[in-house]
Homo-oligomer: A and B are copies of this chain.
């Protein structure tokens, strides 16, 4: 039996369940003994958590709602049951304890039947970039007057890839921070834990995106198998670039020399020379919807796109048949998209359409680490 949540309920006891509007709750009628009148024990579809909830905050869901929702679990092809004792703790950054509530359910049966047919596009925001933390002056903090790179804070990368006129071109095409590398690796490892098989990796030509793609592939242990297709058509809305011209991205030769696993044989859908500086919203929308349609035509299985905040809307809405987002508060929405924020679209081949569903892995939420000078407060009062 499945319930749809009508009102939010915040737990007032440790054994109660937080439920949010729109969530589905799975209720096993055989487990409702010793439950007080008006309450049920259920498992949240959103969180996988289980606990007591007030029944009158919910309504019975339609069979079809549940069925569509169930289809999100296409990736769990072989559920594993990892317990704490079977694992060496603290050896890896991540790993996942699968929630045993889902095991053996109709979910996995359905997904096993459908997984061969399913095509999906996972659109991903790149990781933390150095200028996001250290501001535009990061180059001045990190380069000596004679052009030597210096790691002024441990969140700066240990080295920078070699490129022509690096001082000048890093300014408009900055690299990931170490934290950005951590974020990318963690997401890659989580995708691996969920046994997501990525067959195609596309990246915006921005260095931060190529680096994110590389580290996600390393986390997935696919860096020797899947090459990164650098696609200029995935670049940010050029109106938002600080530079009035298109940045000088690293060349294929430079990327290869810097050990990035790029696909040198890939011919882009939208050549770099076609990118218009300061493009209008209409030009941007037209470019992105054209490019995503070309990409899905070329790829029969799961595609990962690493690009920019705006990409999460611009490369998914054309697929699911939504018009372009209203441009008025687009910047505001995009600014809220965190590093490695994701949207996932999957194809319903039988119905000849795409739908947006939960990404195969959870979100990544962490705090900031502030600058620190031991002199302040520790020695001086």
Interface residues of A (CB under 8 A from B): 11, 14-15, 17-18, 41, 43, 47-52, 82, 84-85, 87-97, 99-101, 128, 132-134, 139-146, 148-155, 157-162, 167, 177-179, 181-183, 186-187, 190, 193, 211, 214-215, 258-260, 312-313, 316-317, 320, 322, 325-326, 333, 336-344, 356, 358-359, 361-374, 377-379, 381
State whether A153 touches B364 (Cβ < 8 A).
yes
Report the Cα distance A44→B337, complex, angstroms.
Answer: 37
Q: Report 30 cross-chain contacts, Cβ distance below 8 Å, ordered by A residue.
A: A14-B139, A15-B145, A17-B145, A47-B150, A84-B149, A84-B159, A84-B160, A84-B162, A90-B211, A90-B258, A90-B259, A97-B150, A97-B158, A101-B144, A128-B369, A152-B362, A154-B361, A154-B364, A179-B182, A182-B186, A312-B374, A317-B379, A333-B377, A336-B377, A341-B374, A343-B378, A356-B379, A363-B373, A367-B368, A368-B368
Given known pairs A183-B369, A367-B133, A370-B338, the reply for A49 and B144 (CB within 8 Å) is yes
Q: Is the CB of A132 within 8 A of B84?
A: no
Closest B residue by C-beta to A152: B47
Task: Establish whether residues A154 and B85, one from each chain, have CB atoms under 8 Å apart when the complex forms.
Answer: no
B343 and A144 within 8 A (CB): no
What chain B residues lie within 8 Å of A344 (beta carbons)? 374
- Alpha-carbon distance A378/B317, docked complex (angstroms): 8
Assuming the A-B contacts A96-B158, A362-B154, are A50 and B145 also in contact, with contact meaning beta carbons closer than 8 angstroms in the complex?
Answer: yes
B150 in contact with A381 (CB, 8 Å): no
Report chain B residues within 8 Å CB of A373: 363
Contacting residue for A82 out of B159, B215, B364, CB 8 A: B159
Give CA–CA (A87, B333) in the complex, Å. 39
Across the interface, do A367 and B179 meet the contact criterion of CB distance under 8 Å?
A: yes
A130 vs B327: C-alpha distance in the bound complex, in angstroms? Answer: 37
A159 touches B87 (CB 8 A): yes
B312 touches A84 (CB 8 A): no
- Nearest chain B CB to A339's CB is how many angstroms away? 5
Tell me which of A49, A92, A190 has the highest count of chain B C-beta atoms within 10 A of its own C-beta. A49
Inter-chain CA distance A312–B94, complex, in Å, is 30
User: Closest CB of chain B to A13's CB: distance in Å?
Assistant: 10
Complex: A370 Cα to B333 Cα, angstroms? 13
Q: Are A51 and B144 in contact (CB under 8 A)?
A: yes
Given A162-B85, A365-B155, A371-B365, does the pair A144, B92 have CB atoms closer than 8 Å?
no
- Give chain B residues whose Cβ lies under 8 Å from the Cβ of A312: 374, 378
Q: Do B374 and A359 touch (CB < 8 A)?
A: yes
Q: Which residue of B lies closest to A42 (CB)?
A: B145
**In whole Å, how far is A130's beta carbon from the nearest beta carbon of chain B?**
10
- Across the interface, which residues of B come within 8 angstroms of A167, CB to CB? 14
A326 contacts across to B, CB distance below 8 A = 381
A50→B144 contact, CB < 8 A? yes
Closest beta carbon of chain B to A162's beta carbon, Å: 5
Which of A94, A186, A325, A336 is most buried by chain B, counting CB atoms within 10 A of its CB?
A: A94
Which residues of the partner chain B approach A155 to less than 8 Å between Cβ atoms?
Answer: 364-366
Top 6 A-B pairs ranked by shortest CB distance? A95-B158, A333-B377, A179-B366, A368-B368, A50-B144, A51-B145
Are B186 and A363 in contact, CB atoms less than 8 angstroms apart?
A: no
